[in-house]
Every structure is written in C-alpha cells, then in structure tokens.
Amino acid sequence: MERLDTLLMQEKRPKSFKVHYTWIYVTERCNLHCDYCFFRHMHGREISLDAVEQLFLLFEREETAPTTLIFSGGEAFLAKENLFKILNEAHQRLKETSLHIQTNGLLINAADIVQLRELGVSLEFGIDGNSQTTLEHRCGLKPASFEKLTNTIAQCVAAGISCGSTMTVHPHEVEHMEQGLDFLRSIGMPHVDITPAAFMPWTPELVASFKKNYLALARCRERRRVMYANEDIEWISPGVMDLSLHPPNYLFGGDAFLCLPEEKRLEFTLWNPVNGQFRPEIMSIYEDAYAKMHQQHPRLPYREHVCHSFELMNTMMGTEYMNTWAINDIMRFLTKTHLRLRLKKYGHDQGH
C-alpha cells in the first residue's frame, strides 16, 4: 500500500522540476502608493514563516534551488525583522543561491547596510529617474526623502553592495527616458533596468516612442554600459519555472501573478501550504502553458517566459486583465535589441 502511495505521488509530480528565480513577498504593506504599482490587491498581510520553511523544504525535497532568491513587497524593509530572519536562514541553507532585495530604499539604515554586506545581498532600488519624474509617479515620496534615497544608494554602492535600479517608465514619461537614465548614471547607479509600467494605458504611438527612445539610448556606448540585459541573456529550457511566495502562504509559478485578486489566489495557488505538496490540477495548467511556450523553440530567452506568464495570468482571470499586446511587444523588442547590440550581463547570481 505504501509503495502504491509513493508511485501515485510520483505520477502526480512534474516530470522534471527545476526552479529558476523565486520571489518571497515578505509583506503586503508599503510606505508609497505608486500609480503604476503592479501589486494591485494589498491586504496588509505578512508572509508566514511556516510557509517559508515549507518552501525551503520543497527545494530540498526536489533537489533544486533558485539561482536567485528575490525579496520584495510592498516594501520589504517594513518587515525588517522577518526579512533578516529569512535572509539569514537562506544564507545558511541555499549556499549557491544569490540573495537579492527589491526595495524603494527609504527605510535602509547604516546597520542594515552592514548586515546586507555581510550576507552578500544585492539591492534593486525602485527609482524612475530624476526627482521630478520619480515624485510624479511614486506617490507619497517627498523631495527630502528622494534626497535621502540617493544618499542611501551612494552609501550602499560605497559599502561594496551590488546595486542596480528598476527605472519604471510610465507612458507619460517616454520622452524623459534619456534624462532619467542620465540622472541615474550621474548618481553612480551601476546598472539600470528600463522597464515599461505594465498596467498603464499604452497606445501603439506610445509603444513606438518607447522603442525609438530606447534604441537611441542603447546605441550610445556610454549609456549602454549601465543598461540591464540579464533577462535576455539567460535562457529558459523545458522543465524550468519560477516560483513566488505571497502573504500569507500562496505559491505561484512566477512573478506575474502578483497582481491576482484574492479569489484567484485561492483558486490558483500551486500548493497545499501545510505539507508543501503541489496541487496536481494547478501544476498541470503551468505544464500545459510551458509545453505550448516551448513548442517551437525549446530554449527561450527569459523575457519570453515572462511574456507567456502575462498571457497565462490573463487566462486565469478569464479576461483581458492586462494589455499584453503592448507590454509583450515592448518586452520582445527589448530582447531583440539587447541580443543584437550584445549587451552584457550584470552579476548578482554568483551565490554567496
């Protein structure tokens, strides 16, 4: 009987499971309310530490580990105690995994910088260019806190922490991309991921302007040096997936599902958080989507995988929840541009 149970379990398991990136959303709280925020349904909850333990056990059981464990929120440093608890645990148990935090940078202090450096954590700051552009869309940010943020970035870079930024481009800001990138270069930002704000009302004209302006930046050798292209240089093979853990204990097969409303989280969570076992009926949805994605080209740039996740998210919603036409068009353009211009990879994936 025991043998039969084991065989049944094996049958239900994915044929080959390998995790690439994993996000842990430590809190749903944030000290800003950016107009383009992708996290559409925040309920003020924190991540369950029991769920994090189940996630680490899942990695051990499946004999896999993420290349990068990404901590995010809300604002991750609002849940500082849990954040550092999980970072320390990951540092002990996932030796080959890079540790990375996405943050708006407003709550990082000198003691945090020391700990982050000791743990070998890299940082990704959300800053959209100069103060005017950033204050316009990162609602709640004041000029004094913008100045504090740029000082914090300088301190982190000086401390030897690997830093970069996501420069989110609102459709209203496509004509300010050059200004934004040059400002970030002027404050010593080592690399910048210029990314379109996904849920905003992109029109064909705005998409065309984004591409034209981006191409002009990428053709300039000095600017190209800081432009982030990892997502186009990393390749995804069949059987490889991302995971993301959301408060209090939902698990999804990638980052795009951050924007799902509560009822969809309940419906599509990938596991039973009590025993960490996958729900086979949900896993098969991802497997079918991946099989379709890899049908023509088994090996794909990572950004292509993200485009398919957006489409899967719309399928889960049963509606055109997000304008995938515009975002996926820009994403595929970024991949083509980065590959054609041979942009280099920036490293936060060396393990610690």
Q: Which one of residues 22, 104, 213, 328 is an interface residue with ligand SF4 (CB under 6 A)?
A: 104
* CB distance 302 to 236 below 8 Å: yes
Q: Which one of residues 126, 171, 180, 196 is an interface residue with ligand SF4 (CB under 6 A)?
A: 126
Q: Which one of residues 19, 24, 26, 37 is an interface residue with ligand SF4 (CB under 6 A)?
A: 37
Is there a cis peptide before residue 248, judged by omega within 30 degrees of 0? yes
Total binding residues toward ligand SF4, as defined by CB under 6 A: 12
* Token output for 102: 């996405």
Question: Quick check: 213 binds ligand SF4 (CB under 6 A)?
Answer: no
Q: Starting from the edge strand earliest in sequence, which strands make up the sheet with 68-72, in order?
A: 192-196, 163-169, 121-126, 98-103, 68-72, 18-25, 240-246, 250-252
Q: Which one of residues 30, 116, 240, 283 is an interface residue with ligand SF4 (CB under 6 A)?
A: 30
Question: Quick check: 135 binds ligand SF4 (CB under 6 A)?
Answer: no
DSSP state of 257: G
x-marked contacts with ligand SF4 along 39-78 as a string, rule CB under 6 A: x---------------------------------xxx---
Give the integer Cα–Cα distance in Å for 175 and 184. 16
Region of 5-13, 19-27, 29-37, 235-243 interacting with ligand SF4 (CB under 6 A) = 29-37
Least distance from ligand SF4 to the Cβ atom of residue 102, Å: 8
- For residue 4, give the amino acid letter: L
**Contacts with ligand SF4 in 301-340 (CB under 6 A)?**
none
Question: Quick check: 107 binds ligand SF4 (CB under 6 A)?
Answer: no
Nearer to ligand SF4, 31 or 155 (CB): 31
Question: Quick check: 197 binds ligand SF4 (CB under 6 A)?
Answer: no
Q: Which residues bind ligand SF4 (CB under 6 A)?
A: 30, 32-34, 37, 39, 73-75, 104, 126, 138
